[in-house]
Amino acid sequence: MKATRKSINQFLSSRKIAIAGASRDQKKFGAVVMKELRQKGYDIYPVNPNCDTIHGDPCFQSVTVLPPDVRNLLVLTPKKQTLKVVQDAVSKGIDNIWIQQMSDTREAIALLEQSNVNAITGQCILMWAEPVKSIHKFHRTIKQIFGMLPS
Pairing status of strand 72-75 against strand 57-58: unpaired
Give the 3-state secondary structure of residue 93. coil
Domain boundaries, the chain: 5-145
- CA–CA separation, 149 and 57 (whole Å): 34
User: What superfamily would CATH give domain 5-145?
Assistant: NAD(P)-binding Rossmann-like Domain (3.40.50.720)
Phi, psi torsion values for 89, nearest 5 degrees: -65, -45
Whole-model pTM: value is 0.93
Q: Is the peptide bond before 150 cis (omega within 30 degrees of 0)?
A: no
- CA–CA separation, 135 and 92 (whole Å): 35
**What is residue 100's predicted lDDT score, i.e. its pLDDT?**
96
Per-residue pLDDT of the chain (151 residues; tens, 9 = 90+): 678 999 999 999 999 999 999 999 999 999 999 999 999 999 999 999 999 999 888 999 999 999 999 999 999 999 999 999 999 999 999 999 999 999 999 999 999 999 989 999 999 999 999 988 777 777 777 877 777 778 8
